Every structure is written in C-alpha cells, then in structure tokens.
Chain A
Amino acid sequence: QKEVEQNSGPLSVPEGAIASLNCTYSDRGSQSFFWYRQYSGKSPELIMFIYSNGDKEDGRFTAQLNKASQYVSLLIRDSQPSDSATYLCAVNIGRGGNNRKLIWGLGTSLAVNP
C-alpha cells in the first residue's frame, strides 16, 4: 500500500477556474504536510505547508487538512496558465530519529487552458 497517494491526472481546468488537488496518506501519526510545485525540467519548489486541521490560505493557494480522514488538498483559485505544472504532496511522519524524512506522492499534473 502506497503511503502517499495522488491522482496522476492530468487535471485540466480553464483559466480563471479553481483547481483542486487531493492527496491521501496512510500513516495516522503524520505530523506535517507539504505541497510542492515542479515545472517540467525544473526542481520542486515549496508552495505551502500545513500541520493543523483546517484551512491555510496564502494568496491564491489554500491548503486543507483533515487528519481524521487522512487527506490534504490544495486549492488554486483564479488558475493561470503559469500554474500548469506537477504538484507534489509530501508528508512527514515524524518517526523517531528519521523524523525529518518526507514521504512523497508521485504528483498530479495540472494543465490550465487559456
């Protein structure tokens, strides 16, 4: 069983729409959750992190965490063509001496159509 799962996509949305990206994780002890964006041929860059249940907003991005249901989502409002990228979900399970290791999903490809 995969520890962090994401729909591979591609998720296609029109410009100006809300893009919704989802991630589920298997370890109930997971402590912190991260969303990264990766453009083709580039390295991943951190967009947001969240560790408390509920919503966290930063500009056009909102991260949502539900620990009871073991999912974390990323909403992108007013999607722009420049948001077209692969979005990676990463989870820290905070286990023992290895507590800084992140477990990664395979990513969801997002295409925003002009």
Chain B
Amino acid sequence: NAGVMQNPRHLVRRRGQEARLRCSPMKGHSHVYWYRQLPEEGLKFMVYLQKENIIDESGMPKERFSAEFPKEGPSILRIQQVVRGDSAAYFCASSPTSGGVSYGYTFGSGTRLTVV
C-alpha cells in the first residue's frame, strides 16, 4: 500500500526555467494539498485540490504558480520562470475521500527545489 508519492525528490533549476512537481495521493484519497516550507520555518499552505477542481488556492502566489489534479494521473504543481526565492521544500499531502472529521493528512517525502 504505497503512501503519497512525490517526485522528483530533488530538483535543480536555473533561474527562469520551469519546475514541475508531481504528487500521487494514497489509494482511496481524492483530496490533495500542497505546502511549501523554508528551512527552520513552518508549513505554508499553497493549494487544496480535488479531482479536476481547485477547492482553495488562497496560498498560491498570484503569478508563476499553478496547480492541477486531473481526472487521471498525478497532481502537478507548476512553477514558471523560477527565481532563487522559490528554493524550498514542497510537500504534498492527501486525505481520504470519506471518513468525516476523523481523517488526517498523509504527507509525501517532499521535493527539494533548488534554484541556481
């Protein structure tokens, strides 16, 4: 029973390039959340998605960042024209399709993005 799968684990991009981060939720989970974390800082919410729908994108920067969760395939967080300030750990989490309020998030191992 695979957990939340994120890839790549490490990603190096030059300034101005595009970064694509992938997340496959756990089996039976249809809710996906993306977070960003800088070293020694807390989790910063970015976006909450269900299949083919963005539920809450209040934490997404207005420009260069986008996210999708298509009917088939993984969720993608896309960062266009990366800048050094985008360097961070990006975590994806998923939660069950059902289960009321007693659910919790399961996190992937994260993608460490380094912009050089």
B-contacting residues of A (Cβ < 8 Å)?
A: 31-32, 34, 42-46, 49, 51, 88, 90, 92, 94, 97-102, 104-107
A-contacting residues of B (Cβ < 8 Å)?
A: 31, 33, 41-43, 45, 48, 55-56, 91, 95, 101-110
* A88 and B43 contacting across the interface, CB-CB below 8 Å: yes
Contacts of B41 in A (CB 8 A): 106
How many residue pairs link A and B with beta carbons under 8 A? The number is 52
Q: Point out the residue from B55, B91, B95, B102 that lies within 8 Å of A43, measured CB to CB.
A: B91
Contacts of B42 in A (CB 8 A): 88, 104-107
Contacts of A42 in B (CB 8 A): 109
**How many Å lie between the Cα of A51 and that of B99 in the bound state?**
13
Question: Which residue of A is nearest B105, CB measured?
Answer: A102
